[in-house]
Amino acid sequence: MRKAPTVRKALRTILFYLMLLVIVLLTVLPFAWMVSSSFKGSEAIRTIPIRWIPERPTIEGYQRVFNMQGFSFTRSSLNSLLLAITSTFVAVSSATMAAFVFAKISFKGSGKLFAVYLATMMIPGTVTMVPNYIILRILRLLDTYTGLILPSLANAFGVFLMRQSMMSVNDAYMESAYLDGASLYRIFFQIMLPMVMPTLATMVLLSFMGSWNSYLWPLIVLTSTNKQTLQVVLGNMNGIYKNNEHVLMAGAVLTILPILVVYLISQRYVDQGISLGGLK
């Protein structure tokens, strides 16, 4: 009588771990396939059945990625890095400053203005894409990094996120600092920012990853080859190396690797961001 439940329990545990294994395999196999293919030669890549460990591993794919005709993979990686850093700085500082005002400084029409901010979150990027392109054209900012980054000034989601976090900071700290003669700037930098550090870190990360991974906007704004970002170059390679998958896979590995490292180092803040974004 006693034995039946334990057998069932063991079976259930086995079933559970089997399910885990299936999910892990489904998630990881495409990555493994990418890495494996990237170390194969152009013929070895087409084999039936699959050889996970290349017979004669080669870095030819990687060499070709770094010696492309017409555009430079290294250059575009640096472009992406530079752009991710600057646009993150722009987006986060503009949002944080605005959020501070919305959260802690009362002024006439504050509520209404914030409602407008919230409303802009509903407008899909699709509608603003064409006119934004034309605005940049009129300002003669097409094919410049300034033009690419400028729209990051509008970051309603960031304002919303930071405001939520700043509202929970006790006014007493800031009021007493104010009475002691601290300016609003000092209150902002020395009291508010340290208090909302976790949210700030989350926003920096989300913004950095978003910028590193973005495709459509850099694709339409930047036209000079030497200005292009990593994602756009990888997208272009897709057309050129149609039948050289090992080169493409090497490119994909090199594109994913940096952001993977950033994620692994800062996982805590990224996860926090998901719960902040998901739970309203």
Residues 230-249 that bind another protein (CB under 8 A): 231-232, 234-235, 237-238, 245, 248-249
- Under the criterion CB under 8 A, does residue 11 sit at the interface with another protein? no
Torsion 182-185-188-193 (CA) sign? negative
Neighbours of 273 (CB within 10 A): 20
- Under the criterion CB under 8 A, does residue 6 sit at the interface with another protein? no
Give the whole-angstrom CA distance, residue 213 versus residue 77: 12
Residue from the set 1, 7, 26, 53 that interacts with another protein by CB under 8 A: 26
Residue from the set 10, 130, 197, 240 that interacts with another protein by CB under 8 A: 130
- Under the criterion CB under 8 A, does residue 279 sit at the interface with another protein? yes
Torsion 75-77-80-86 (CA) sign? negative
User: DSSP secondary structure string, 224-268?
Assistant: SGGG--HHHHHHHHHHHTTT-HHHHHHHHHHHHHHHHHHHHHTHH
Angle at 41 between CA 37 and CA 46, to 5 degrees: 65
Give the whole-angstrom CA distance, residue 59 versus residue 39: 6
Amino acid present at 115: A
Q: Which stretch binds another protein (CB under 8 A): 59-67, 69-77, 193-201, 207-215?
A: 207-215
Q: Which stretch binds another protein (CB under 8 A): 2-10, 55-63, 70-78, 133-141?
A: 133-141
Nearer of residues 215 and 226 to another protein, judged by Cβ: 215
Binding mask 67-106 for another protein (x = CB under 8 A): -----------------------x--xxx-xx-xx--xx-
Binding mask 180-199 for another protein (x = CB under 8 A): ---xxx--x-----------
Applying CB under 8 A, the site for another protein has a residue count of 95
CB contact at 8 A, 126 and 168? no
Window 35-54: residues binding another protein (CB under 8 A): 37, 45-50
- Minimum CB separation of residue 190 from another protein in Å reads 15
Residue corresponding to tokens 């950033």: 262
Tell me the backbone φ, ψ of residue 246, rounded to 5 degrees: -65, -30
Q: Which stretch binds another protein (CB under 8 A): 1-9, 64-72, 175-183, 194-202?
A: 175-183
User: Helix (H, G, I), strand (E, B), or coil: what is residue 44?
Assistant: coil
Give the whole-angstrom CA distance, residue 25 versus residue 92: 37
- Under the criterion CB under 8 A, does residue 31 sit at the interface with another protein? yes
- Under the criterion CB under 8 A, does residue 145 sit at the interface with another protein? no
Binding mask 107-126 for another protein (x = CB under 8 A): x--------xx--x--xxxx
Give the whole-angstrom CA distance, residue 17 versus residue 31: 21
- Under the criterion CB under 8 A, does residue 178 sit at the interface with another protein? yes
Strands of the chain, DSSP E: none
Residue from the set 175, 197, 240, 265 that interacts with another protein by CB under 8 A: 175
